[in-house]
């Protein structure tokens, strides 16, 4: 667990014990839900896209596997998302659609478990809706974009169920599938065409929500777009979209956005595509379109080996600055134009990089010289000073601990803070948090790792039984912090402000106090929580 110097400061606000936190004062609270009548017919929604038959689940109306774009198959593989042709009569929406093709291993990994589960299919552009009622109530809407390192994940993962948010917050919740890995992120530069097919999918889904969500009891003018990791990166990338002069969403929640990624240029992306085609033994995109998708996904494993760099989070497929779908760093899109007026909640976990590196045998054996070489990439000739600072901040630190804290700062914390700083300087609304509660799983090696805040945000630990990183958490502390966070997210979605009783006052991040909410067994608001590290990185060599 990192002993961050800023954590030893006098806290400005009194803490609230996580075990004492409750969801209070919110509409649609769980205790207020009446049991559904057994003789009620299944719910039906009649959006402009077409009539849908849903199901009743726990007192909510749920519509699953709803297509929002044409299947990206055949000639539409590696093409921007196209409108769905629609359907006649009533479409059954009682089962999830297939997840996007992705690497899969039975049983998952030893940290998160599964990221996305079968069935998989290229015909995957569907979304799911949870609503208290398919009526005209105009409820606030939350659209969730899953993460997964740009290669995995699904809107049907049990942990992303919209049930708790819809019930506890009287919200309409939408989860989305979009193209992943080679099918979503390869770039070909054909005749000046763009790439980022994943982004065109998400834009199509947002347009669908804007045009159809009223039929599910949602307000198309009160949409919060939320996501974690690669999904949070997506939220930022979508901030600049303003089709027909109307913003697609009003608020943004960015959980652990990897804004420190160096997004490839067109030329760099073409070289990465060439590497991928070499693995498959094809010479052009026409030949590649004839390759069955299971072979495309299988080639991902070798891409890890060919594109990975020691000391960096491995990402074999990346977005591209293609000048068509994405022409700026996504963080910049939240500073001007359509993104400037979006209300932003942004945060990170204290030991993000432990997710990928803490349980790695090869990295556990890293030497100081190896890590110093990586530190020089960030700090140049100040690498020795920076190494010492990180080493002293974590008593008994091994070289790998220094490396993990550096990667956490490089990829997540410092870029998120920089965005908060820049928005604050422009007087734009932004709230910041740091998730600090460590997990005892794997002997405590993971700390407060990447993804650990997810079940707390959704407050649905029963849906995360497959996640090894939750083992050993004390139920009272776990459930209390989840209640606090879940209520704060609901408050932000409903009002644009995360404050709620009995949480300590959570002020906007500004240039005077730099308030950051420290989410832990005791939740507290801290002034300039990461100030020491922010100043250290500000002086880093370019």
Q: What are the contacts of 282-289 at 24+ separation with CB within 8 A?
A: 285/78, 285/188, 285/190, 288/78, 289/74, 289/75, 289/77, 289/78
Task: Name which of 175, 171, 95, 177 is nearest 131 in CA terms.
Answer: 171
Taking phi first (over 0 means left), then psi (-120 to 50 degrees means alpha), and beta for anything else, what does residue 31 get? alpha
Quote the crossing angle between the two packed helices 300-307 and 266-280, to the nearest 10°: 130
Query: Could you tell me if 197 and 78 are in contact, meaning their C-beta atoms sit under 8 angstroms apart?
Result: yes
β-sheet bridge partners, residue 343: 251
Task: Name which of 132, 131, 143 is nearest 210 in CA terms.
Answer: 143
Strands 60-67 and 55-57, by their bridges, are antiparallel
- Token pair in block for residue 104: 């899969």
What is the spatial distance between Cα 442 and Cα 471, in angstroms, rounded to a whole number? 8
Contact residues for 105 (Cβ-Cβ < 8 A; gap 6+): none
Residue 475 neighbours by CB distance under 10 Å: 9
Residue 483: exposure state from Cβ atoms within 10 A (0-12, 13-18, ≥19):
buried
Task: Name which of 99, 241, 272, 237 is nearest 179 in CA terms.
Answer: 99
Give, for 452, the enclosing helix (H) or strand (E): none
What is the spatial distance between Cα 260 and Cα 199, in angstroms, rounded to a whole number? 19
Catalytic center residues: 229, 352, 450
Angle, CA of 231, 478 and 30, to the nearest 5°: 80
Contact residues for 292 (Cβ-Cβ < 8 A; gap 6+): none
Query: Could you tell me if 338 and 242 are in contact, meaning their C-beta atoms sit under 8 angstroms apart?
Result: yes
Give, for 140, the enclosing helix (H) or strand (E): strand 139-145
Contact residues for 517 (Cβ-Cβ < 8 A; gap 6+): 347, 431, 432, 433, 434, 488, 498, 504, 506, 523, 524, 525, 526
Give me the sign of the Cα torsion angle 353, 321, 103, 148.
Answer: positive
């Amino acid at each position: 667990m990192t002993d961050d110097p800023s954590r030893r400061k006098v806290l400005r606000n009194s803490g609230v014990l996580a075990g004492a936190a409750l969801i209070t004062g919110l509409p649609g609270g769980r205790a207020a839900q009446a049991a559904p009548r057994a003789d009620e017919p299944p719910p039906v929604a009649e959006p402009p896209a077409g009539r849908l038959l849903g199901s009743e689940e726990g007192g909510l109306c749920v519509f699953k596997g709803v297509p929002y774009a044409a299947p990206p198959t055949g000639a539409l593989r590696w093409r921007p998302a196209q409108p769905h042709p629609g359907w006649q009569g009533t479409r059954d929406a009682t089962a999830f659609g297939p997840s996007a093709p992705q690497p899969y291993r039975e049983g998952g990994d030893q940290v998160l478990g599964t990221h996305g589960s079968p069935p998989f299919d290229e015909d995957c552009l569907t979304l799911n809706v949870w609503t208290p009622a398919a009526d005209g109530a105009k409820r606030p809407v939350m659209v969730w974009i899953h993460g997964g390192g740009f290669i995995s994940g699904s809107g049907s993962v049990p942990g992303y169920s919209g049930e708790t948010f819809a019930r506890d917050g009287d919200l309409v919740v939408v989860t989305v599938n979009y193209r992943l890995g080679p099918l979503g992120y390869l770039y070909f530069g054909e005749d000046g065409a763009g790439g980022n097919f994943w982004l065109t999918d998400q834009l199509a889904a947002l347009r669908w929500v804007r045009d159809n969500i009223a039929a599910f009891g949602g307000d198309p003018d009160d949409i919060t777009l939320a996501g974690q990791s690669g999904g949070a990166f997506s939220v930022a990338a979508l901030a600049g979209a303003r089709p027909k002069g109307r913003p697609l969403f009003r608020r943004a929640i960015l959980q652990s956005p990897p804004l420190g990624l160096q997004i490839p240029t067109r030329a760099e992306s073409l070289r990465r595509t060439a590497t991928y085609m070499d693995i498959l033994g094809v010479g052009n995109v026409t030949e590649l379109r004839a390759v069955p998708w299971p072979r495309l996904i299988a080639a991902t494993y070798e891409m890890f080996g060919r594109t990975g760099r020691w000391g960096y989070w491995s990402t074999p497929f990346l977005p591209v600055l293609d000048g068509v779908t994405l022409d700026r760093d996504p963080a910049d899109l939240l500073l001007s134009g359509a993104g400037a007026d979006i209300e932003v909640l942004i945060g990170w976990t204290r030991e993000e990089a432990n997710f990928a590196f803490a349980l790695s045998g090869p990295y556990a054996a890293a030497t100081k010289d190896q890590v110093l070489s990586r530190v020089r990439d960030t700090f140049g000739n100040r690498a020795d000073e920076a190494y010492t600072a990180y080493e002293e901040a974590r008593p008994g630190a091994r070289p790998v601990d220094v490396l993990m804290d550096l990667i956490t700062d490089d990829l997540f914390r410092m870029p998120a803070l920089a965005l908060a700083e820049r928005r604050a300087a422009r007087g734009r609304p932004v709230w910041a948090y740091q998730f600090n509660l460590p997990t005892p799983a794997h002997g405590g090696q993971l700390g407060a790792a990447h993804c650990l805040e997810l079940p707390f945000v959704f407050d649905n630990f029963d849906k995360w039984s497959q996640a090894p990183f939750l083992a050993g958490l004390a139920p009272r502390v776990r459930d209390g912090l989840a209640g606090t966070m879940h209520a704060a997210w609901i408050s932000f979605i409903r009002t644009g402000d995360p404050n709620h009783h009995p949480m300590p006052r959570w002020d906007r991040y500004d240039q005077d106090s730099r308030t950051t909410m420290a989410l832990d067994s005791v939740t507290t608001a801290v002034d300039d929580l990461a100030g020491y590290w922010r100043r250290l990185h500000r002086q880093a060599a370019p």
